Amino acid sequence: MYDVMAIGNALVDHEYVLSDAALEETELTKGNMTLVGIEEQQQLLAYFKLANIAPSKQAGGGSAANAMYAFASLGGKPFYACRVGDDDQGAFYLRDLHEAGVATSDESIHEGGVTGSCVVAVTKDGERTMQTYLGTSSDIAADNVDFDALTQADWLYLEGYLAMSESIQPAMTQLRQQAGIHNAKIAVSFADPAVVKFAKDGLLNMLGNKVAVIFCNSEEAKLFTDKKQVNAAARTLLEHCQTAVVTDGANGAVIAHQSNDEAEIEIYEIATPVVANVIDTNGAGDNYAGAFLYGLSQQYSLPECGRLASEISAQVIQQFGPRLASQDYRDIAQRVLSA
């Protein structure tokens, strides 16, 4: 039995710290993710080398994978479907997940494929800007999904970046249908403003008639709903879900919830812990979603889930890389959930 089955793009993150001026030279949109081919990524890496900007860290990444890493480290039992190559990067990627307690299957390994990579540019304000070469992950499809795993899971977690992938859409529909048959609840993360801007139809396919939970940040929520205020955007998202979780950085998070009988909408505002030094926001939203979902799987209240998620994401942004040490997750949970 699994608490959750997730599906997402498998990427190895390569982090670089650079100035805003250096970021402008890359012509990447700050705070967003840009999909590119291998040649464009090689050009970016060549620029970094020419500018004497050395990588600060290599780590397993991918939005849903980061969320499942947090989920497993907290004590949950996740299964993760993805597509990696049978190369050194793919082996590194899967080993990193297995050591944390995230289950995968051999269906995720593509013989002869090249594992995807993400160049993460982190500026002095801690904002992350990403350039992603999906590699073999761009062809993720039903063949890479162990549908039997979902029959054993209580939740299905879908990563928004997959809205940009045409090859996975039939599997997305099949997963949603299977989740309905087996009474698995569905959670969808919007993942990035670029997903809402350029792949809204794919997101709508993920959401179907309605899902249990949507995770997004304030920019994504406003883009999706065309609302200017966070609370209004969160309420509007309830047209597509039962619970909308909208994060807004240092301003905290808004949780909007409407029960199945369409009773009055409940709104919870969760404060963000004070962070003296934001180093790197890469993975903050992923960890928020993973921790929140873990809380839901363990029957904690929405405010408790929000407080746990806020504490964990606040810790993530105070270090380089998208993941904490496994023990750090458990220590935070013990402090927050026993308070």
Q: Is the pLDDT of residue 129 over 90?
A: yes
Residue 22 burial (10 A CB sphere; 0-12, 13-18, 19+): middle
From CA 274, how far away is CA 253, in angstroms rounded?
Answer: 13
Look up residue 186 and give its two tokens: 């569905």
Look up residue 246 and give its two tokens: 């909208």
Q: What is the pTM of this model?
A: 0.92
Stretch 127-145: mean pLDDT: 92
By DSSP bridging, strand 153-159 and strand 55-61 are unpaired
Of the listed ranges 18-27, 132-141, 273-282, the least confidently predicted one is 273-282
Tell me what pLDDT residue 260 has. 74
220-266 pLDDT tens trace: 999 999 999 999 999 999 999 999 999 999 999 999 999 876 678 99
What letter does residue 260 receive in the DSSP assignment? Answer: T
Tell me what pLDDT residue 339 has. 66
Tell me what pLDDT residue 279 has. 87
Which residues are registered as beta bridge partners of 243? 213, 257
Tell me what pLDDT residue 320 has. 84
Q: Distances in Å between the alpha carbon of 178 and those of 5, 18, 94, 144, 190? A: 12, 45, 26, 16, 21
Q: Is the pLDDT of residue 219 over 80?
A: yes
38-72 pLDDT tens trace: 999 999 999 999 999 998 878 888 999 999 999 99
Q: Is the pLDDT of residue 109 over 70?
A: yes
Stretch 204-231: mean pLDDT: 96
Q: Give the closest residue to 77 by CA, choosing from 245, 284, 298.
A: 298
Q: How many Å separate Cα 19 from the centre of its chain?
A: 25
Stretch 193-198: mean pLDDT: 94
Q: Is the pLDDT of residue 9 over 70?
A: yes
Is residue 82 a contact partner of residue 119, using CB atoms and an 8 Å limit?
no
Q: Phi/psi at 35 (nearest 5 deg)?
A: -85, 135
Q: Give the closest residue to 6 by CA, choosing from 79, 100, 84.
A: 79
Q: Distances in Å between the alpha carbon of 249 and those of 52, 79, 100, 272, 303? A: 31, 29, 27, 7, 17
